[in-house]
């Protein structure tokens, strides 16, 4: 079974595939590799692509998607394309122009999901949905207090459909997940595999998630890989997961996450690995009044 048939309903009636393809490109990798990887991902069954203005790759992802539409593999409506509003466009009158730039780069007419990359008010985003440029709107890296501020805002027209946050076995976000579920907001997880050493913002001294001995032992038990167990753990908790790879074998491997199930006992064992460790510390936000990671969750 591929991610094509594995989708969850968002609170505005649209659906999001539960497995998404991350599109950030490490500095040492040429961007053309992303075109190749995105096409491989579509052929392997990925239908959800997580992009952003900040990543400077929307031309490449758009090109790959359009070429797979042109060769008949998929239709535009089969693809779920996310982009994100970068923080230099937070002034309400700039929000739409950031989205329009993303659409122009990707050469798409609309995004399926437009997310605020780092916390700010939602109001100007609602206009993007009304204009049909974004089917759904959501947020990323919001803590509970910041989500509450949005949800309690008088005149709120559309609730965010998701909060995209770092989430993996070392930062399992159980409180944020409970809160999101109580508000019918999907939790979308990034750094699900512990990110990579070549991401500039990852502390090189942090433990390598996929080397975790419990994860590795469990992978052996299920005859799967540590990456698949790490992704499966999140899926079984009702989380939408992103995974990034430039390697054909691993892109295809990640689709195997739908082929097995962890027992509830093993889910509890994995719960026990939580240590509130962030690979994406958000240090560049230090001192900012909207710093999202200073609250407990």
The mark string for 123-162 relative to ligand NAP (x by CB under 6 A, - otherwise) is -----------------xx---------------------
Binding residue for ligand NAP (CB under 6 A) from 38, 143, 164, 173? 164
Both tokens assigned to 30: 């040429």
Q: How far is CA 34 from CA 112, 152, 249, 252, 284, in A?
A: 20, 40, 15, 15, 26
Binding residue for ligand NAP (CB under 6 A) from 53, 81, 86, 190? 190
Both tokens assigned to 190: 């990034």
Binding residue for ligand NAP (CB under 6 A) from 139, 229, 235, 242? 242
DSSP letters, 19-88, are EEEE----TTS-THHHHHHHHHHHHHT--EEE--GGGT-HHHHHHHHHHHHHTTS--GGG-EEEEEE-GG
Q: Catalytic pick from 55, 114, 170, 179?
A: 55
Binding residue for ligand NAP (CB under 6 A) from 44, 210, 216, 267? 210
- Smaller CB separation from ligand NAP, 157 or 284: 284
Task: Compute φ and ψ for 16, nearest 5 degrees.
Answer: -120, 130
Say whether residue 48 binds ligand NAP (CB under 6 A): no
Judge residue 167's burial from the number of C-beta atoms within 10 Å of its C-beta, 0-12 exposed, 13-18 middle, 19 or more buried: buried
Say whether residue 186 binds ligand NAP (CB under 6 A): no
- Smaller CB separation from ligand NAP, 71 or 113: 113
- Smaller CB separation from ligand NAP, 118 or 179: 118
Give yes or no: 297 in active site.
Answer: no
Minimum separation from the CB atom of position 94 to ligand NAP (A): 19
The alpha carbon of residue 221 and the mean position of all alpha carbons in its chain are separated, in whole angstroms, by 28
Binding residue for ligand NAP (CB under 6 A) from 11, 123, 196, 281? 196
Say whether residue 225 binds ligand NAP (CB under 6 A): yes
* Cα(189)–Cα(211) distance, integer angstroms: 20
* Cα(207)–Cα(226) distance, integer angstroms: 14
Active-site residue set: 55
Interacting residues toward ligand NAP by CB under 6 A:
22-24, 50, 117, 140-141, 164, 190-196, 199, 210, 225, 227, 242-247, 250, 253-254, 280
């Amino acid at each position: 079974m591929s991610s094509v048939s594995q989708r969850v309903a968002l609170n505005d009636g649209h659906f999001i595939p539960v497995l998404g393809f991350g599109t950030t490109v490490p500095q040492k990798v040429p961007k053309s590799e992303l075109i190749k990887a995105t096409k491989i991902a579509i052929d392997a069954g990925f239908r959800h692509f997580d992009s952003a203005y900040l990543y400077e790759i929307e031309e490449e992802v758009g090109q790959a998607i359009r070429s797979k539409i042109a060769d008949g593999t998929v239709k535009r409506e089969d693809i779920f394309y996310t982009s994100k509003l970068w923080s230099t466009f937070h002034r309400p009158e700039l929000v739409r122009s950031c989205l329009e730039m993303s659409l122009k780069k990707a050469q798409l007419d609309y995004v399926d999901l437009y997310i605020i990359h780092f916390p700010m008010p939602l109001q100007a985003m609602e206009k993007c949905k009304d204009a049909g440029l974004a089917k759904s709107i959501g947020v990323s890296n919001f803590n509970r207090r910041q989500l509450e501020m949005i949800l309690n805002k008088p005149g709120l027209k559309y609730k965010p459909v998701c909060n995209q946050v770092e989430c993996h076995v070392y930062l399992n976000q159980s409180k944020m997940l409970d809160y999101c579920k109580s508000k019918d907001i999907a939790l979308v997880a990034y750094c699900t595999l512990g990110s990579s050493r070549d991401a500039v913002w990852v502390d090189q001294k942090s433990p390598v998630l996929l080397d975790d001995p419990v994860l590795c032992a469990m992978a052996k038990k299920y005859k799967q890989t540590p990456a698949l167990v790490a992704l499966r753990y999140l899926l079984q908790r009702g989380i939408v997961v992103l995974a990034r790879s430039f390697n054909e074998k691993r892109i295809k491997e990640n689709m195997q996450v739908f082929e097995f199930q962890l027992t509830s006992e093993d889910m509890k064992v994995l719960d026990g690995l939580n240590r509130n460790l962030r690979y994406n510390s958000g240090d560049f936000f230090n001192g900012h009044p909207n710093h999202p990671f200073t609250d407990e969750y």
